[in-house]
Amino acid sequence: MLRVDGARAFALPLFGALRMTGGGARTSPQATKDIVVSDFSFWEFFWLVVSTALFLAYLIVLFQIVGDLLRDRTTGGFAKAVWVFGLLVLPFLTALLYLVVRGNGMYARQEERYAEAQAGMDQYIQSVAGKRSPAADIAEAKALLDSGSISQAEFEALKAKALA
């Protein structure tokens, strides 16, 4: 807790400190020099950092579980509702139980989603790039030569380019 002349204060980096007095809050430029942070020990700060990190890790796991649960195509709606209800009522126990019971399936489903996304991306890239074989290019050039659109020299140039 921050103290300024025995009164409670809230640190404001640009505007000094707000002093809570009987007459209301006011800004005092002199108050920033008197702030002492002696009530907050190293170990309190350490445990604050550790507990914050553990809470954030728990939130990440919780969101992974909910995402996996809602994307799972094999689990029915009632089972999903039971899992979500369990996560709301007993979150730590249900999360641990979910990871034990369905942990391996989470990895398999995530790997399957990544494989589907990769296949879709590869298919899209092939359709956009229009990857053609040299034989198709030569056949197209031959058709142009047969129709009289290009000369024999241009056909040989296109053939050389396709084979290169």
Instruction: List the domain range (segments joined by +) for residue 16.
Output: 3-34
Residue 109 and residue 51 in one domain: yes
Residue 95 and residue 159 in one domain: no
Q: Give the pLDDT of residue 37.
A: 56
Rounded Cα–Cα distance for residues 109 and 68 (Å): 8
Residue 117 and residue 65 in one domain: yes
Q: Give the pLDDT of residue 104.
A: 85
CB 102 within 8 A of CB 65: no
SS3 label, residue 16:
strand
Residue 77 and residue 106 in one domain: yes
Rounded Cα–Cα distance for residues 147 and 75 (Å): 61
Residue 85 and residue 159 in one domain: no
Tell me phi and psi for residue 12, to 5 degrees.
-120, 115
pLDDT band at 38 (very low <50, low <70, confident <90, very high): low
Q: Give residue 19's Cα distance to chain centre.
A: 41
Decide if pLDDT at 62 tops 70: yes
Residue 88 and residue 101 in one domain: yes
pLDDT band at 119 (very low <50, low <70, confident <90, very high): very high
Residue 80 and residue 140 in one domain: no
Residue 61 and residue 104 in one domain: yes
Residue 13 and residue 57 in one domain: no
Residue 70 and residue 108 in one domain: yes
Decide if pLDDT at 50 tops 60: yes
- Which range is least confidently modeled, 35-49, 59-73, 89-103? 35-49
Q: Give the pLDDT of residue 136.
A: 85
Residue 67 and residue 101 in one domain: yes
Residue 50 and residue 104 in one domain: yes
The mean predicted confidence, pLDDT, of the chain is 80
Q: Which residue has the tokens 């399936």?
A: 105
Rounded Cα–Cα distance for residues 83 and 94 (Å): 7
Rounded Cα–Cα distance for residues 159 and 142 (Å): 9
In the chain, the number of structural domains is 3
0.75 exceeded by the pTM? no
pLDDT band at 128 (very low <50, low <70, confident <90, very high): confident
What share of the chain in percent tops pLDDT 70?
75
Decide if pLDDT at 24 tops 70: no
Q: Quick one: which of 101, 102, 97, 77 has its CA closest to 86?
A: 97
